[in-house]
Structure 1
């Protein structure tokens, strides 16, 4: 047991990524016939069992991470034992642990519901689901900007396949748009990273935050420009205006469980805005540039989503517009750049993700009860489960519109309280209240069409409408209703346990603003106590590898500080390099008191 615990603590951050990664590989190796044969394939129960057990294991891992992060400790995992900023690191802190728990809290009921029959409508559903989980976990845990790009691409590639799950013309058309938009975003992401690396010389988040204030004016402006380009990329992922018009129609055509799980995708963009633009680029120029855009974008997005929801012609698009509105509300909270506002925004982020997922699952239930009318907002015969569906819709409406006593109400109250000393308080209060009123109007309209104006079903047995109505199932799709109840129960518990949750989130907001703490944990120091990094950035510097030959390296004495003792004694450190290290250590008085790397001789 001690060996297991030691292994667990040693490899803590990466385990959450490896669980879905290995699961996805196993599911691919298990094979997958065409969708028409899955229901008769003997391997299908194995796929479902392996997939669900993996998600439960991931959920348990995420909860253990949350408990560990609640101590305030920042856990760092150096991939291949390369220390930051020269190697890629994973960082487990309060925020990443919170996002992991949110991801698996959503994934567990959604996958359980999808395993009823939705997973039989296309190939490799479970494998792609776990690749998506892998990308999400990696994006939340990485401490490196380029690695953030890598995990973005992993989750996006999986989302491309999942969006087309079940096939169909509409899904293919919107899937093409979705892919094109995200490919453009990926190109902008790389350009932004190039601008940051070219001016700062590092892509480690903690190191960039440390080096930014010391840059020359022209380099500093280039780095800030790169950060704003990343802000555009993250805004596309988060579906903020004017780059978020794609979301309502795209999510509307996705399969019900896919759309429900995709609600976490917008939160990846919001997380990245907070993590990168809010904390890494936190000097005066970067924050002024961010502030100039973030607040007006949040106000406009929130208003647009609520207004467009009133005019929506389909229920699924209605949910998409409500998601846009909630994204705007969260951006308003993030734009205030203070601990109280970030606490309110994160609290509301968790609420909006879960309630939107529950609403998409309800759309699947309503669609199954309306026959040929599906989710179109048109007058149709009464649903066979009208009472239970209407009650569920009413509860979700109260939660999503932000009415008491549910978590949406308390999230908005916290945002309003955080704006007390903010210069644009009147704009924030006015927008939040107007959006809440418009949301109530939008939900009233939808409820009126779906339930109040519903007509009496045809009762003449010789009519075609009677035959069509009798063909409608008398119950919800398998597991659909229970998956909704599980998510709604989670939101009720979220309110009941609001006090400890808010305390945790407040400490999270304080932690992510403490760049010095991340610098202390992530970055190594030399014998003089200086951080070993690249300042100023020298593009001619070429680090030596074991295949680089016997080249004089003025930086050899830093090697013992950057790698573990076992690696230092291994074969990768040549005898020639070890002699240089010993020689430089014997002449410490000749080593300048700084941590600037020097170019190697050629």
Structure 2
């Protein structure tokens, strides 16, 4: 048991990535016939079982991580034993643990719902679903900017396939738009990374944050430009205006479970803005530029979203516009740049994700009971579960519009409390109150059309309308209603335990603003307690650490501080290199500047 616990502790952060990755590859190896034969395929129960067990295992792992991180500890995992900033590092802190629990907490019930029928409408659903989880978890755990790009690409490629799940002309057309937009964003991402690496010399998040103030004026401005270019990419992912017009139509054509799980996708963009632009690029120039843009963009997005919802003609597009409005509210909170506001943003982020997913699931329920009217805002015969559906709609409306006592109301109250010292307090208060009022109007409008004005069903047996109405299902699609109940119950619990949850959010916001804490946890120090890195960046420096041949290495003395003791003693270092290490350690510390990497002879 001790060996198992030691293994778990040693490899902790990477399990959340490995679990969906191994599951996805296993499901691919299991094979997949055409979509028309999936329902009768003998392997389908195995796919569902493997997929769901993996999801439960991932959820359990995420909860354990959350409990571990709640103590304030930061856990790191150096891939290949190469320490930061020279190697890839995974970082588990309170924010990443929170996002992992949110991801699996949403994915598990949606996967359970989709496994009843929806997964048989297209090939490789379960494999792509777990590749999506792999990308999400990797994006939340990575401490490296380039690997953030890698995990973005993994989740995006999975989302391309999932968006087309179930086929159809509309999905294909908007899928092309979705792919094109994200390919442009990926190109901008790479350009931004190139600019940052060329000016800073590192892509490790903590190291970039540490080196930014040390750069010369021209290099500093170039690095800031690269950071702002990344902000544009993250704004596209988060669907922030003016680059977020794609979301309402795109999510509207996705199948019900896919639209529900995609609600976490915009939060990846919000997470990246908070993590990268909020804490990595926290120098004065970046802060001033970002602060001058974030608040106006957040206000505009919030107002535009609710106005678009009022003018929408379909229920699914209505949900998409309300998601845009919630993104704007989150950006308003982030733009305040204080711990209380960021804590409020995190609380509202969880709420907005779960309520939007529940709403998309309700769209599937309503569509199934309206027949040819689908989710269009046209007067139609009453649904067979009219009272139950209207009650669920009413609860979702109260939560999403931000009315008391639900979590949406509490989230907005927390944001308003954080505006105390903001010079724009009055503007923010007015906008949030107006958006809430307009949200109530928007929900009243569609509730009036869908339920109040609904006509009585045709009662003449000989009429075609009567036969069409009788053919409609008597109950919600399998597991659809139960999944909604589960998400709404989670939101009620989120409201009841708002006080301890908000305390965790506050500690999380305080932690991600403490770069010194991250430096201590992630970067290595030499015997003089100086950080081993490049100070400042010099393209002539070659950080050779672990291996080397018969070349004089002035940095040999740093090797014992960069790799684990077992590796250092395990025969990985040549005798020639070991002699250099011993000789350099004999030298006077005043003569040898250990923190500065020195160029090697070619």
Shorter-chain TM-score range: over 0.9
Partner in structure 1 of residue 107 of structure 2: 107
User: CA 1:544–1:506 in 2, change beyond 3 Å: closer, same or farther?
Assistant: closer
Secondary structure of the equivalent of 1:76? strand
Alignment-derived partner of residue 494 in structure 2: 494
Q: Which residue of 2 aligns with 1:525?
A: 525
Deviations 1:44-86 (A, max 9, x none): 0010001001111111111100100011101111111111100
Give the 3 Å change call, closer, same or farther, for CA 589–12 of structure 1 in structure 2: closer
CA distance in 2, matches of 1:84, 1:546: 13
Residue 174 (structure 2) aligns with: 174
- Separation (CA, whole Å) in 2 of partners of 1:203 and 1:361: 40
Matched, 1:410 2:421: no
The farther-off stretch of 391-400 and 575-584 is 575-584
Contact 1:341 1:418 in 2 (8 A): yes
Q: Which residue of 2 aligns with 1:222?
A: 222
- Cα deviation for residue 456 of structure 1 reads 1.3
Instruction: State whether structure 2 residue 90 is matched by structure 1 residue 90.
Output: yes
Q: What secondary structure, in the 3-state scheme, does the structure 2 residue paired with 1:242 have?
A: coil
Q: Is the 8 A contact 1:200 1:537 kept in 2?
A: yes
1:479 aligns with 2:441: no
1:192-242 deviation digits (Å, cap 9, x = unpaired) = 111111111111111111111111111111111111101000000000000
C-alpha distance in structure 1 between counterparts of 2:13 and 2:515, whole Å: 20
Task: Classify the secondary structure of the residue corresponding to 2:76.
Answer: strand
Deviation of the 1:596 alpha carbon? 1.2
Q: CA deviation at 1:42?
A: 0.6
1:4 corresponds to 2:27: no
Corresponding residue of 1:57 = 57
User: Residue by residue, what CA displacement relative to the aligned partner does 1:110-169 show, whole Å, maximum 9, x if unpaired?
Assistant: 000000000000011001000100110111111111111111011001000100001110
Contact kept? 1:199, 1:223, Cα under 8 Å: yes
The equivalent residue for 1:307 is 307
Matched, 1:554 2:523: no
What is aligned with 1:253? 253
Offset of 1:464 from its aligned partner? 1.2
Match of 1:19 in 2: 19
Answer yes or no: is 1:365 the counterpart of 2:360.
no
Q: What displacement does 1:574 show?
A: 2.1
What does 1:202-217 correspond to in 2, within 5 Å?
202-217=202-217
Secondary structure of residue in 2 paired with 1:318 = helix
Partner of 1:119: 119
Change (3 A) 1:446 1:132: same
Counterpart contact for 1:125–1:165, Cα < 8 Å: yes
Q: Name the CA distance, whole Å, in 2 between partners of 1:527 and 1:320.
A: 55
Kindly state the Cα deviation for residue 595 of structure 1 after the two structures are TM-superposed: 0.9
Please give the TM-score of this superposition, normalised by the length of structure 2.
Answer: 0.99
1:378-412 deviations in whole A, cap 9, x for unaligned? 11111011010000000000000000110000100
Correspondence 1:195 to 2:191: no
1:133 aligns with 2:126: no
Alpha-carbon deviation of 1:573?
A: 2.1
Cα distance change of structure 1 residues 589 and 420 upon mapping to structure 2, 3 Å threshold: closer
* Structure 1 position 546, deviation (Å): 7.9
Kept in 2, the 8 Å contact 1:546–1:574? The answer is: no
1:243 aligned partner = 243
Task: Please list every run of 5 or more consecutive structure 2 residues that lacks an aligned counterpart in the other structure.
Answer: none
Aligned to 1:428: 428
CA distance in 1, matches of 2:103, 2:131: 13
CA contact (8 A) 2:264 2:353 kept: yes
Note closer, same or farther for the CA distance 1:65–1:547 as it changes in structure 2 (3 Å cut): closer
Name 1:463's counterpart in structure 2: 463
1:353 aligns with 2:353: yes
| Counterpart in the other structure of 1:146 | 146
SS in structure 1 opposite 2:77? Answer: strand
CA gap 1:226/1:424 in 2 versus in 1, 3 angstroms: same
Q: Deviations over 1:283-327 (max 9, x none)?
A: 111110110110000000000000000000100000000000000
The total of aligned residue pairs comes to 602
Q: CA deviation at 1:570?
A: 3.5
Alpha-carbon distance between aligned partners in 2 of 1:420 and 1:232, rounded to the nearest angstrom: 29
CA offsets, 1:547-580, max 9 Å, x none?
8642211111111110012222335422222222
Indicate yes or no: 2:48 matched with 1:41.
Answer: no
The answer to whether the 8 Å contact 2:171/2:254 transfers is yes
1:383 corresponds to 2:377: no
Identify the residue that residue 331 of structure 1 maps to in structure 2: 331
**What's the TM-score, normalizing by structure 1?**
0.99
| Deviation string, structure 1 residues 230-270 (Cα, Å, up to 9, x no partner) | 10000000000000000000000001000000000000000
Q: Judge conservation of contact 1:528–1:593 (CA < 8 Å) in 2.
A: no
Give the deviation of 1:589 after TM superposition. 4.6
The separation in 2 between residues aligned to 1:5 and 1:497, in whole angstroms, is 31
Q: Look up the SS of the partner of 1:370 in the other structure.
A: helix
What is the rounded CA distance, in whole Å, between the counterparts of 2:299 and 2:516 in structure 1? 32
**CA deviation string 1:460-499 (max 9, x = no partner):** 1121111111110000000000000000000000011111
Residues 527-564 of structure 1: per-residue CA shift (max 9 Å, x gap): 21110001121223334488864221111111111001
Separation in 1, partners of 2:546, 2:442: 65
Deviation at 1:590, TM superposition (A): 7.2
| Structure 1 Cα separation of the partners of residues 477 and 87 of structure 2 | 48
8 Å contact from structure 2 (residues 305, 325) kept in 1:
yes
Q: CA deviation at 1:594?
A: 4.5
Alignment partner, residue 163 of structure 1: 163
